Chain A
Amino acid sequence: MSTRSANSPRNRWLAPAVLITLLIASLSIATGFIWLPSLQLNGRFHGVWNAICSAAGLVYNRAPTDIERQPGYRTSTVIVLPGMLRTAGAASVGRGATLALQCTTCHGARGVSDADTPNLAGQYAPAIYKELLDYQSGARTSAIMGPRVTNLSDQDMRELAAYYAYLPRLSADHSAVDEFTPTIVLIGAPMRNIAPCVSCHGATGYKTGSAWLEGESLTYLRTQLRAFASGSRHNDISGQMRNVARGMTYTEIEQASAYYASQPW
């Protein structure tokens, strides 16, 4: 028996093996890149070269046509990263406290108020910071908040967030869920692609940028859910809240709002 290398040109297995492999590859490439695209009846076949580029996955830059890119329609440009704003020094909190004096009329002297505005004491810093940036860019609109954030610097907003996150809440952690928690809060509605509230807003999972909801005003929660559902509020990253709220029934919006409003702040 020969000890020659199998890759020697004199090995009679070499040529057929390579040829058969290349033949199968060529035929399948010709079929997948040219022949099958040419059979498409949807008018997308614009010549062989175009078909090859398209089948290879090359990206085309199309002109923006969707509503979210129309002039005047702003969405959030804030990039939220895990661990952002996690540490703040005492000086930062102190400067934030001074800046926050102009917020006390509506949000309360210590970040808690009965005025149907959001409670801010102990709120997650990234959530406050993101909303302030969105008010400034116009992604979130409010006749009251808009003018007040116009002149805030990025550093001002970080310090405001640090101050309010530093203020104490009544409860140390999210409310524990049990069998009396409304289904929409605990489980969501998987068949309608609605994730449970607790998977982002705490209790079973927390995603950076989400707000603390327990103890917020019923009116505020309900108004915001309805605004997300109608699309009049559109500063949620990638439409996460709009997609959730749009699928919620009237009753589910009421249940979720009432549940969170009934929890201790």
Chain B
Amino acid sequence: MVDSPHRLITPQHLPQTLAQHLYQLADHQITSQTLVRWAETQQWQLLEGAYKTDQTLAAHVLREILSDIVLQWECLQAHHHDTAQAGQELVVEFPNAWLTTWLQQIQSTPANPMSNINFNAPIGNVNTGNTTIQGD
């Protein structure tokens, strides 16, 4: 959690980068585990690292979103562990609906520099087809 190869992102750029990672995950360019490891690093910077003293509303919202991503991963992994058949290989990924929720929460982050994020871009069009993020 503390030591990580992930690049440190400033809180100002975090919403944009997180949204990009969520779209990459929806497009299967990265795995959920990759997203979670990245989110853990960024969350730690906001809790105990370089940005721990940032008490802005944006930082608070980001802490909550990153925390949700990391903790939902804990719960999802456990659920799959509990329900998997013996010998079954586990491939755990976040449902697309959850990615949509997190993108909507990012969009509501105060004063985020997300002008170049297209929230009308479909997410999860492979599996769900009609799940989209609504723009402003």
Question: Are both chains from one complex?
Answer: no
By a beta-carbon cutoff of 8 Å, the part of chain A in contact with chain B is none
